[in-house]
Each structure stands twice: as C-alpha cells, then as structure tokens.
Amino acid sequence: QKALGACRRATRIDPLSAEAWKVMGWTSLGLDLLDEAAEAFRAATKLSSDDPDARAGLAAVRMRDGDLEGAESILSPLVESGMATPCVAAGFADLRARQGRAEEAISVVADLVERPLAASERISLAFALGDLWEVTGRPEPAMAAWTHANALCNSDFDPELHRSRVDKLISTCLLY
C-alpha cells in the first residue's frame, strides 16, 4: 500500500509521466486493484500511445479479469508487429498458457532470452520459457531453461543436486 501511495503522489506531481502511470498500473495490479490498474494503464497509453508495455499492462488487467479475448486483441498485434518487449512476451506467454496454446509463445520468449536485456528481464523470461516447456509436456527443455535462468542469477543452484532431492522425495512418497 505504501508503494501505491508513492505512485499516486508521483502521478499528481507529474501527471504527464507515462512511466509513473505504468508503475502505478503494475503496483495496482499487484494489489489486485483491477479498476485502478486499468485506469493507470489507460492514462499511460494516452500519454505514450506507442508504448507496448503500457498496452501489455492493459492486457494483464484483462487477463486477471478473465477476459482472454480482450488480452488477445492487445497482445497478438504487438507480437505480430515485432513489438515483443520482455513485458509483452511475458504477457503473451501467460495468455497462451491460459489458452492451452503455450507452444505458440515459446519462440517469442526464447528469442528475447538471447537478446542483450537487463539481467532481471532475461532471468524472468528464462524462467517463463521453462514454464512454457513444462506445460507443453517437455521436461528436458524446461529443465534446461530453468537451469539457464538460475545460471543467469549467479546462484549456487545445482540442477543435479535438485534432481536427486526430487527423486528422493518421490521415492519416499511412494513408500507410503
């Protein structure tokens, strides 16, 4: 709630800042305030009509509200026109997964993972790619994508240790 208060102050101080409105939209969406999020994203798109991330925010609100067709009408043209930013790609991946068409988003996300992006964006997209592979029933590329994401995190994640722990857990559960 404090973050939302700061966003509201920012939009009062600079009501012509599309970026402030976008941040307010994502913050509102994170708090499940769909009407406020939609209003903020609409304000951002009015100020910067060519900003694909503001439009992706509107699509996220529609998805959260259960309007997959509305989200489709926003995201598909962005992807088809080559405006798939990390934000757009993440939304498109979520949409396609919800529609049972995750395979259609794999190439969009995979392409962006290999581009020079901010580390946090590449990490999020690599995890999303793993999730897409998983929902399409392909565990090997899913694990490869998640391993790549963890490597980007510079963490001490060890996929073999993780696999052995999961196998041990499964074996233990099967005993009961």
pLDDT digit string, tens, across residues 99-155:
999 999 999 999 998 888 988 899 999 999 999 999 999 999 999 999 999 888 876
Find the mean pLDDT for residues 49-68. Answer: 95
pLDDT digit string, tens, across residues 19-35:
999 999 999 999 999 99
The alpha carbons of the chain give a radius of gyration, in whole angstroms, of: 19
pLDDT digit string, tens, across residues 88-102:
999 999 999 999 999
Q: CA angle, corner 164, sides to 162 and 165, nearest 5?
A: 65
Q: Give the confidence band of 165 by pLDDT, cuts at 50, 70, 90.
A: confident
